[in-house]
Amino acid sequence: MKNISGGVCAPKGFLAHGVHCGIRKNTSKNDLSLIMSEQPCSAAAVYTTNLVKGAPLTVTKAHIADGCAQAVICNSGNANTCNADGIEIAEAMSALTAKELDLKPDDIVVASTGVIGQPLSVEPIAAALPALAAGLNPDGSHEAALGIMTTDTIAKEVAVEFTLSGKACRIGGIAKGSGMIHPNMATMLVFLTTDVAITPAMLQKALSGDIQNTFNMISIDGDTSTNDMVTLLANGMAGNAEITDDNEDFAIFMKAINTVTVGLCRMIAGDGEGATRLLECCVSGAADEATAKTVAKSVICSSLLKAAMFGADANWGRVLCAIGYSGADVDVNKIDVSFQSAKGEILVCKDGAGVDFSEELAKEILLEKEIEILVSLNSGSASATAWGCDLTYDYVKINGDYRT
């Protein structure tokens, strides 16, 4: 498994581009992105479980019900949610894109991100589509990644290369996500592409299985968005033997997906609104995987723990507190907690009780950009990892006037 550049354009046959069409007031920022495959694709997706869903999700779900798609159109700056004409607008975006690319509207994945409940005009999108489509190119992933950002401070792109049936294969992805992130069945907006040949059914199985241990294990602020969606397109242009069942090639494919999605998870968590630190909670020694996940997610969701990490305060009691109310069946008298970063590791709790440790060293460790919270439950062999960020003054500043 080799990390490569190229994002969603790394796999064979994928092109992308992004432009400013006028939805966002800042003319220096892209707000419309397009991804297209030169060949029809198997398609899979997962969606937010929030009962309030953006119209694009409803439209996309209908479009890929047959397991096929060939392009993705996404705007930022307006989530197209809670609008009376939301479905009409999403269908219009699909139709306009399909016409420009000489495809069928049902082969278009449509997505939106930004402010909820704000009317969205299709006119700027229609006006920009000819130039957007004309600009599609095999090096366009970065422009597309920029076009789906809202409060993100960095573009998020990952790609890997691997081998199936003696053929070089690739998976790439771009994501947006900075706030309103507490997913359940999907997260933020993530667009994945691959040149692997795989049936729609197996593609959906791969995506649905992966997100349980990746995107579903992120929390920035405890809010589940209305527009969260992860899509995966596979055009088969790598020429591998088509994956039709749960075989060795499928296992390798799953590992490749996981490498890309974990990379995107870390980028999303580290770029949380106002964040100064990426937090990674690694739970080991759990009786079962469900327990490990529950504990890891509870720790990473704790506002008090997140605030302590912002202050580089080794307040390990907040870790135990979060474990205690998580609902997981654990023996609190067996729990060990350590903090780790590039500056080293320090044990702060042993068998559920505090131990002597250097506050100075702990502070040095916690001042790093990436912090690992290591929790050992000492009750089994299962493990899990969750990702989040610290809670800062800037989070409130950003969301205090997000709409205006």
- Show which residues are catalytic: 187
Helices 86-101 and 123-134 sit at what angle, rounded to 10 degrees? 30
- Cross-strand pairs, 113: 76, 78
Nearest residue to 69 (alpha-carbon basis) of 123, 18, 14: 14
Q: What single-letter amino acid sits at 32?
A: L
- Outline where DSSP puts E strands in 272-343: 278-286, 336-341
Contact between 222 and 263 under an 8 Å Cβ cutoff? The reply is: no
Residue 112 · residue 54 · CB < 8 Å? yes
Give me the residues paired with residue 158 across strands.
173
Cα–Cα distance list, 1 to 96, 162, 209, 256, 385 (Å): 38, 5, 20, 7, 21
Counts for the chain of helices (H) and strands (E), in that order: 11, 15
Q: What are phi and psi of 284, to 5 degrees?
A: -130, 170
Q: Specify the residue for token string 């990490």.
A: 309
Smallest CA-to-CA distance from 52 within 228, 268, 208, 273 is with 228
Helix (H) or strand (E) holding 71: strand 68-78
d(CA 186, CA 57): 12
